[in-house]
């Protein structure tokens, strides 16, 4: 054999090896080895210290994690502390496969069953919630990272406060992923948090920056399977302030144009991004390789911080996502690429509360409803969030104080804590005219 053919043979063997490697190892798994930031989520800005809530010691970081099998980051315990979630998880299995979680996570399920999430064959909810009851009209799913305890606390104190939300047709749930290995304390912590508030859903994919797409598709899935009768799904990040009273007002006021807009089952409402150039710089945290996305520009898409979906869009996007190749930029994939594929159109949102508007509002130079907004921009500060919520609450409660049912002082002070549902829609209907 001469030198030339030996060379050719070697090249051939190498090529085969590369092809085999590429086909055996799915691309997200390759990425997974590079990025091991365990605290990452869409909202990574200013995480703040965790103080008041009981918390586990610092968990081991991603770099030291053992080489676990893909998709099996956490085995559901047979004796979880929260019996609600355990019964729900096993119910899921009883309904679909009749196998306990520990067995099921070893046998791959057929595609199309509810046990896969995109390319994850053994998807389960480690913490789950009961399905929506029929009065829920809007499901708000807040993307959070496991360790964003303070952000969840702030949201529960402000715009998702139960004493308010439970009187409205809204429901708020936080979505998290799995804690890595060596983070049992965090898992227990989440169990306690959920026991206290009953508002967490946890998927068994690892909570990581490059896994955000799983979380987003999990949101679509959960809505589809447990809340499909609702009028809207809202997806927000945990550092956004959502003006829930404004949404309640839109729902309760038939003559507002927003009321009919929000009834469109094909709605996809957000602050649309156009002509966004794909980041290729090696220094960028957002760097996307040509293999991940080959074009120069992204299609029109909705930034993930705040998106309002109608139920038909959710169904279409979920079905398309289940068949789609994994791409870690979740908002681009779901509201851009898959939306285009399923002919789902974006409705641009008119008003957003920008930083300067927050400033003006808190200085008394602007009115809460002029213009009315549903969401603030990213990364609102906790004190700003508190202040805006207080303004929104005052707005709801002012008409109450003059309402005949609240003429006695004791009743009026009571109303500051719990707002009767009958009054809310009434307040919503009068607030724009009576209060300006
Ligand atoms: C556990 O389940 C039982 C029956 O399903 C229920 O009565 C009880 O309140 C639950 N306990 C907790 C801590 O959720
Ligand atoms: C909801 O608001 C009430 C009254 O402002 C407050 O006492 C309560 O702690 C809040 N709930 C949560 C979960 O923070
Ligand atoms: C994403 O989740 C999968 C499944 O749990 C896991 O194997 C992978 O390592 C995760 N990716 C990152 C970047 O952590």
Residue 335 has which token pair?
């509201």
Contact 329, 295 (CB under 8 A): no
The kind and range of the H/E element at 157 are helix 149-157
- In terms of pTM, does the model score above 0.75? no
CA nearest neighbour of 37 among 187, 207, 279: 207
Ligand 3 pocket test, candidate residues 33, 34, 70, most atoms within 8 A of CB: 70
In this structure, the number of other CB atoms found within 10 A of the CB of residue 27 comes to 16
pLDDT at 133: 94
* pLDDT by position in tens, the chain (length 436): 577 887 687 887 877 576 676 565 444 333 333 333 333 343 333 333 333 444 544 543 433 333 333 333 333 333 333 444 433 443 333 333 333 343 334 444 444 456 889 999 999 999 999 999 999 999 999 999 999 999 999 999 999 999 999 999 999 999 999 998 888 999 999 999 999 999 999 999 999 989 999 999 999 999 999 999 999 999 999 999 999 999 999 999 999 999 999 999 999 999 999 999 998 888 888 789 999 999 999 999 999 999 999 999 999 999 999 999 999 999 999 999 999 999 999 999 988 888 888 888 888 888 888 788 999 876 788 999 999 999 898 887 765 444 444 444 444 444 444 444 444 444 444 443 333 3
The kind and range of the H/E element at 159 are none
In this structure, the number of other CB atoms found within 10 A of the CB of residue 157 comes to 13
Within 6 Å (CB) of ligand 2, which residues are found?
Answer: 156-157, 161-163, 417
- 57 within some domain: no
C-alpha triplet 197, 139, 115: angle, nearest 5°: 85
Distance between CA atoms of residues 215 and 229, nearest Å? 21
Q: Which residues contact 125 (CB under 8 A, 6 or more apart)?
A: 85, 88, 89, 92, 201, 202, 203, 204
* Integer angstrom CA distances of residue 179 from 73, 127, 385: 8, 12, 28
Distance 118 CA to ligand 2 centre (A): 38
Distance between CA atoms of residues 47 and 41, nearest Å? 11
Distance from CA of residue 5 to its chain's centroid? 56
Distance 85 CA to ligand 1 centre (A): 10
In this structure, which residue's CA is closest to atom 1 in ligand 1? 83
Over the stretch 335-384, which tens digit does the pLDDT of each residue have? Answer: 999 999 999 999 999 888 888 888 888 888 888 887 889 998 767 889 99
Would the CB of 319 count as within 6 Å of ligand 1? no
- 412 within some domain: no
Distance between CA atoms of residues 319 and 93, nearest Å? 21
Distance 254 CA to ligand 1 centre (A): 41
Q: Which residues of 408-427 are buried (b: 16+ CB within 10 A; e: fewer)?
A: eeeebeebeeebeeebbbeb
Would the CB of 83 count as within 6 Å of ligand 1? yes
CA nearest neighbour of 381 among 158, 223, 190, 226: 158
The structural domain count of the chain equals 1
Q: What is the dihedral of CA 118, 119, 121, 126, to 10 degrees?
A: -60
Within 6 Å (CB) of ligand 3, which residues are found?
Answer: 32, 35, 70-71, 73, 120, 205-206, 208, 210-211
Would the CB of 91 count as within 6 Å of ligand 1? no
Contact 77, 85 (CB under 8 A): no
- 309 within some domain: yes
In this structure, which residue's CA is closest to atom 7 in ligand 2? 417
- 422 within some domain: no
Q: Could you identify the residue written with the tokens 């009749």? A: 98
pLDDT at 359: 85
pLDDT at 1: 58
Segments forming the whole domain that contains residue 307:
73-348
- 7 within some domain: no
Q: Across the strands, what pairs with 375?
A: 242
In this structure, which residue's CA is closest to atom 8 in ligand 1? 83
Strand positions, DSSP E, 207-324: 232-237, 268-270, 306-309
- 199 within some domain: yes
Distance between CA atoms of residues 142 and 434, nearest Å? 33
Would the CB of 80 count as within 6 Å of ligand 1? no
- 421 within some domain: no
Q: Across the strands, what pairs with 268?
A: 309
298: which DSSP letter?
P
Distance 47 CA to ligand 1 centre (A): 34
pLDDT at 22: 56
pLDDT at 21: 65
Sheet holding 347-348, edge to edge: 125-127, 200-206, 170-178, 138-143, 232-237, 306-309, 268-270, 347-348
In this structure, which residue's CA is closest to atom 10 in ligand 3? 206
CA nearest neighbour of 159 among 84, 234, 252, 253: 234
Q: Which residues contact 96 (CB under 8 A, 6 or more apart)?
A: 113, 114, 115
Distance 410 CA to ligand 2 centre (A): 19
Distance 212 CA to ligand 3 centre (A): 10
Would the CB of 84 count as within 6 Å of ligand 1? yes
Distance between CA atoms of residues 345 and 339, nearest Å? 7
Residue 308 has which token pair?
């309002």
Residue 134 has which token pair?
């029929």
Q: Which of the ligands is closest to the CA of residue 116?
A: 3
User: What CATH number is given to the structural domain containing 157?
Assistant: 3.90.550
- 267 within some domain: yes
User: What's the Rg (C-alpha) of the chain?
Assistant: 24
Q: Which of the ligands is closest to the CA of residue 198?
A: 1
In this structure, which residue's CA is closest to atom 12 in ligand 3? 32
Distance 332 CA to ligand 3 centre (A): 19
Q: Which residues contact 315 (CB under 8 A, 6 or more apart)?
A: 224, 228
Q: CB under 8 Å, gap of 24 or more: what pairs does 100-105 form?
A: 101/75, 101/76, 102/75, 102/76, 102/78, 105/72, 105/75, 105/76, 105/204
Q: Which of the ligands is closest to the CA of residue 157?
A: 2
Contact 305, 42 (CB under 8 A): yes
Distance 83 CA to ligand 1 centre (A): 6
């Amino acid at each position: 054999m001469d030198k030339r053919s030996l060379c050719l043979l070697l090249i051939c063997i190498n090529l085969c090896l590369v092809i085999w490697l590429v086909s055996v190892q799915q691309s997200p798994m390759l990425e997974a080895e590079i990025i091991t930031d365990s605290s990452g989520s869409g909202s990574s800005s200013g995480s703040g210290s965790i103080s008041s809530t009981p918390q586990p010691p610092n968990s081991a970081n991603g770099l030291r994690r053992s080489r676990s099998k893909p998709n099996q980051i956490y085995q559901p315990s047979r004796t979880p502390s929260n019996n609600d979630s355990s019964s729900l998880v096993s119910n899921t299995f009883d309904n679909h496969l009749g196998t306990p979680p520990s067995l099921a996570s070893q046998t791959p399920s057929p595609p199309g069953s509810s046990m896969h999430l995109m390319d994850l064959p053994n998807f389960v909810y480690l913490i789950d919630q009961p399905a929506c009851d029929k009065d829920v009209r809007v499901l708000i799913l807040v993307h959070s990272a496991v360790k964003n305890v303070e952000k969840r606390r702030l949201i529960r104190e402000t715009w998702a406060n139960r004493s308010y939300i439970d009187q409205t047709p809204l429901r708020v749930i936080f979505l998290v992923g799995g804690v890595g290995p060596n983070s049992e304390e965090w898992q227990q912590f989440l169990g306690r948090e959920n026991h206290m508030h009953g508002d967490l859903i946890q998927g068994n994919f690892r909570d990581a920056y490059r896994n955000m797409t799983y979380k987003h598709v999990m949101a679509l899935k959960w809505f589809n399977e447990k809340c499909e009768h609702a009028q809207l799904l809202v997806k927000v990040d945990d550092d956004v302030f959502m003006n829930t009273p404004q949404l309640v007002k839109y729902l309760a006021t038939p003559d507002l144009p927003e009321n009919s807009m929000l009834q469109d089952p094909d709605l996809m409402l957000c602050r649309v991004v156009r002509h966004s150039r794909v980041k290729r710089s090696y220094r960028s945290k957002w760097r996307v390789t040509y293999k991940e996305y080959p074009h120069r520009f992204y299609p029109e898409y909705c930034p993930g911080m705040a998106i309002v979906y109608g139920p038909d869009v959710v169904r279409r996007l979920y079905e398309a996502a289940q068949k789609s190749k994994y791409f870690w930029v979740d908002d681009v994939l779901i509201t851009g690429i898959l939306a285009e594929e399923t002919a789902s159109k974006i409705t641009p949102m008119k008003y957003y509360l920008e930083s300067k508007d927050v400033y003006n509002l808190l200085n008394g130079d602007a009115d809460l409803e002029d213009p009315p907004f549903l969401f603030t921009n990213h990364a609102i500060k906790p004190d700003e969030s508190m202040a805006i919520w207080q303004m929104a609450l005052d707005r709801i409660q002012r008409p109450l104080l003059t309402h005949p049912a609240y003429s006695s002082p004791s009743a009026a002070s009571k109303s500051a804590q719990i707002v009767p549902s009958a009054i809310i829609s009434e307040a919503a209907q009068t607030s724009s005219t009576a209060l300006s």
